[in-house]
Amino acid sequence: MEKDIKIAVLAVQGAFAEQMERVSRLGAECIALRQKADLMQDFDGVILPGGESTVQGKLLVELGMLEPLRDKISKGLPVLGTCAGLILLAEEIGNDEHVWLGTLPVRVRRNAYGRQLGSFHTEGMVWGIGTVPMTFIRAPYVEETEQGVEILAQVENRIVAVRYKNQMGTAFHPELDADNRIHEMFLAMCEKG
C-alpha cells in the first residue's frame, strides 16, 4: 500500500521517532525536520509530535523554523499536531503567555489533567472514525473553539480532537496506540491537499 506522498515530522524534541515509524508503516515517505534547511524540501503534510511544547516552540524560534512553517500551514499545508503539537498550533494558550504557530483558532489549556499521576488511557468516539484508543500524557485539552472549527472528539465533556481546514489537532497520542485510523484520516487530507 505504497502511498505517493511525503510527510515531514518535526524532529526537534519529543516522540518524533514514533510518528515517523507509523507514517512509514502506512506507506508514506517520511522526512525529519531538524533545522531550517529541512523545510526547503517539498512535502505533502507535516506532523508536530508530542513532547514538551516549551522546548519545541523555543527550538522552532532559535532554529529560524517558526516563520517558514507558519507560512506553509497558512498557505494550506496539511498539519497534524498531537499533544504538544496541538499546543504549538493553538492561537491561544489559556495558562501560558506563549503563542507559537498560532494558526489554529482554539484556546488550549496545558497540563490540563495535572501532573503525571493525572495521565490516563481511555477510549473515545472520533467523528467519522468511531471509537479509538486514546492515551493522554500530561495532556492539554481544548477550552474554546472559534467558528469553523470542527470538534472531532470529546472525553468527559472536554474537547480532545479538532479539525479546521487543513489543520488537525489531538490532545492524545495516536502514535502510541496500535490503531491507525487517526493517521489514515490525516494521510487522506494530505493526499487530497
**Which residues sit at the interface with another protein, rule CB under 8 A?**
11-18, 34-35, 50-52, 54-55, 58-59, 62-63, 83-84, 95-96, 110-111, 114-117, 119-121, 135, 137-138, 173, 176
- State the Cα angle at 126 between 125 and 132, rounded to 5°: 65
C-alpha cell belonging to residue 181:
485510523
Which residues are within 8 A (CB) of 90 and not within 5 positions of it... i.e. 6 or more apart? Answer: 99, 100, 102, 104, 106, 107, 108, 142, 169
- Rank residues 13 and 170 by Cβ distance to another protein and give the closer one: 13
Q: Which of 30, 173, 183, 190 is catalytic?
A: 173
Residue 158 β-bridge partners: 155
Q: How far is the CB of 170 from another protein (least distance, A)?
A: 14
Least Cα distance to 142 among 169, 107, 172 occurs for 107
Q: Which of 21, 146, 175, 184 is catalytic?
A: 175
Q: How far is the CB of 91 from another protein (least distance, A)?
A: 19
Asked if 30 is an active-site residue, the reply is no
Q: What gap in Å lies between CA 97 and CA 90, rounded to an integer?
A: 12
CA distances from 73 to 8, 47, 48, 122 (A): 12, 11, 12, 30
If you ran DSSP here, which 8-state letter would residue 80 be given?
E
- Rank residues 5 and 80 by Cβ distance to another protein and give the closer one: 80
- Rank residues 102 and 133 by Cβ distance to another protein and give the closer one: 133
Q: How far is the CB of 192 from another protein (least distance, A)?
A: 30
Asked if 83 is an active-site residue, the reply is yes
- Rank residues 64 and 193 by Cβ distance to another protein and give the closer one: 64
Q: Which of 30, 62, 67, 83 is catalytic?
A: 83
Active-site annotation, residues = 83, 173, 175
